[in-house]
Amino acid sequence: MTPDAPAIDLRINGPTWLVLACDIDHLAPEAVLPWFLEPGRLRRWWGEEYEIDLQRGGSYVIRWPSIGRTLRGQIASIGATHLVFSWSFDEEPGVPAYVVALNSTERNGGATLEISHGAYRDDVTGAAERQSHLEGWSFFLPRLLAAIRTHQ
């Protein structure tokens, strides 16, 4: 990790949940989740096209036409500092939907973002899915933090 690389705290890695956290300096907790909800902000770090219905039961769809992928889910809970949605890829119909819970809390004039992703089966297939999601978050979280730093 380079000195400028953000620290991502791997809090839980299995067997059924993946929990990551990262600190975001100089950003209030309620200013974090718009980066997961507003298409203009999402484009800066994650995906290409969005359909997000900002209400409980609303759709949460992210598309990457350039690679032929679509993430589709539904919002289970939404508030100023939390978001819970389901997560599955259209291209993987045999893989069950997962839950992603985002929580943003105050930390010394900034925020801590915690991401809980699961529940995974406690078997080889579940471990492989959890590892794939860990790699995805490890790629995208630094992009999120860089986008926030650039546009504060």
CATH number where 117 lies: 3.30.530.20
pLDDT in tens, 53-64: 999 999 999 999
* Residue 152, domain member (yes or no): no
Alpha-helix residue ranges (DSSP H) falling in the chain = 34-37, 39-42, 124-150
- Span 26-45, pLDDT tens digits: 999 999 999 999 999 999 99
90, part of any domain: yes
Q: Is the pLDDT of residue 4 over 80?
A: no
List of residues 6+ apart from 61 with CB closer than 8 A:
50, 51, 52, 70, 71, 72, 73
Listed residue (101, 77, 80, 75) closest to 21, CA to CA: 101
Per-residue pLDDT of 108-147, as tens digits, reads: 999 999 999 999 999 999 999 999 999 999 999 999 999 9
Please report whether residue 5 resides in a domain: no
Q: Does pLDDT of 67 surpass 60?
A: yes
- pLDDT score at 2: 44
User: Is 111 a member of any domain?
Assistant: yes
In a domain, 83, yes or no: yes
Q: Is residue 3 part of a domain?
A: no
Residue 51 located in a structural domain:
yes
Domain assignment present for 92: yes
Q: 62 is written with which tokens?
A: 């992210």
Q: What is the pLDDT of residues 70-94, one digit of tens each?
A: 999 999 999 999 999 999 999 999 8
- Determine the pLDDT at residue 1: 42
With contact defined as beta carbons under 8 Å apart, do 97 and 88 qualify? yes
Q: Which domain holds residue 103?
A: 14-145
pTM: 0.92
Domains identified in the chain, total number: 1
